Amino acid sequence: MDSLIKKYQSLDLSGILNFEKFSLIAISHHSTKIEGSTLTELESQILLDHGLTPQGKPLNDSLMVQDHFKAIQFVVSTAKTQVAVSVSLIQQIHALVMANTGTIYKTILGEVDNSKGMFRKGNVTAGVGSYFPNFDKVEKLTHQMVEMINSKMKENLSMEEKINLSFDAHFNLVSIHPFYDGNGRTSRLLMNYIQAFYQLPLALIYSEDKNQYYQSLIDTREKNDISYFRNFMKSQYEKHLNSEIEKYQSDTNFNKGSGFNFMF
């Protein structure tokens, strides 16, 4: 993994015009597609580049993509300032993720506006047999998680330990499930925040691997072994970095004259 990251970084992709923007668009596309967006990656790019919503697709899907893109831009810019992870930062990220699609939940304990980064005031499940902590434990668990993250970030971590920390933060936040909706996107963005903080390439989960992603979460909880999730995320990270390296090398060879041989 170390050598793959170093190879990726040696290409200096950040110096390529609009590379970061298109990278963030790809992350936004896959993260929202996991949550049900029907937009293709090209439709997401056109939407975010030109503000054109695709015909025949639900408006909510476009809003989801736009919200995520604003959230990941916030994540990257804030990480560059080396702001420590905090509960309020996580709530800020969530509020951006749900800005235009969040709804208001009415509970016996009061209203929860899911577009404002508010913690849930009720219990939730995710499919058969998947239960999350009671709502009255959410705030305490989130604070404990943040303390753990910041404690780790004060240590002199190796590259592998930094990557694992980002994966672990992702797993822990989505397992606490502090919000009524948007937990997956927010958890993946917390992972990206830690990666950006350390100036590491940002990870994404390919939407076509959604089932394996969910299974890795289930296996980790059932077996109480974080290695299941780490191994899945490592495979996704390697898949993404290798894909970017291959695309760069292919385009470089094309520009050197090994592509088509006609002019127009």
The pLDDT of 188-213, averaged and rounded, is: 97
Name which residue leads in pLDDT, 16 or 233.
Answer: 233
CA distance 80 to 189: 14
Instruction: Say yes or no to pLDDT of 258 above 80.
Output: no
Q: Is the pLDDT of residue 230 over 50?
A: yes
Please check the confidence at residue 51 and state whether its pLDDT lies above 80.
yes
Query: What percentage of the chain reaches a pLDDT higher than 90?
Result: 80
Burial of 39 (0-12, 13-18, 19+ CB in 10 A): buried
pLDDT category at 130 given cuts 50, 70, 90 is confident
Q: How far is CA 49 from the centre of its chain?
A: 20
Sorted by sequence, the CB contacts under 8 Å of residue 106 that are 6+ apart come out as none
- pLDDT for position 260: 47
Interior CA angle at 38 toward 21 and 247, to 5°?
40
Q: Residue 246 has what pLDDT?
A: 86
- The pLDDT value recorded for residue 110 is 93
Least confident interval from 186-190, 245-249, 253-257: 253-257
Q: What is the dihedral of CA 42, 43, 48, 53, to 10 degrees?
A: 160
Average pLDDT over residues 138-148: 98
The mean pLDDT of the chain is 91
pLDDT digits over 5-44, tens only? 888 888 776 666 567 888 999 999 999 999 999 999 999 9
Distance CA 51, CA 53 (A): 6
Range of weakest confidence among 119-133, 149-163, 187-201: 119-133
Residue 112's DSSP bridge partners are 105
- What is the Cα–Cα distance from 174 to 172, expressed in whole angstroms? 6
User: Residue 166 is encoded by which pair of tokens?
Assistant: 């980002």
Q: What is the pLDDT of residue 187?
A: 98
Q: Which residue has the tokens 């990206």?
A: 192
Among 157, 230, 234, 143, smallest CA distance to 198 is for 157
In angstroms, the CA 85 to CA 197 distance is 10
Q: Give the DSSP letter string of 217-242.
A: HHHHHHHT-THHHHHHHHHHHHHHHH
pLDDT tier at 135, thresholds 50, 70, 90: very high
Does the pLDDT of residue 160 top 80, yes or no?
A: yes
- Residue 110 sits at φ, ψ, to 5 deg, of 120, 175
Q: Residue range 190-213: average pLDDT?
A: 97
Residue 254 DSSP one-character state:
I
C-alpha 44/C-alpha 29 separation (Å) is: 6
Task: Give the model's confidence band at 254: pLDDT under 50 very low, under 70 low, under 90 confident, else very high.
Answer: very low
Q: In the chain, what's the furthest Cα-to-Cα distance?
A: 70
Q: What is the pLDDT of residues 57-68, one digit of tens each?
A: 999 999 999 999
Whether the CB-CB separation of 101 and 127 falls below 8 Å is answered with: no
Predicted pLDDT of residue 15: 63
Contact partners, residue 26, CB within 8 Å, separation at least 6: 41, 204
- β-strand pairing of 104-107 with 110-113: antiparallel
Structural domains of the chain, ranges and CATH numbers in brackets? 84-246 (1.10.3290.10)
pLDDT of residue 6: 86
> Could you tell me if 10 and 33 are in contact, meaning their C-beta atoms sit under 8 angstroms apart?
no
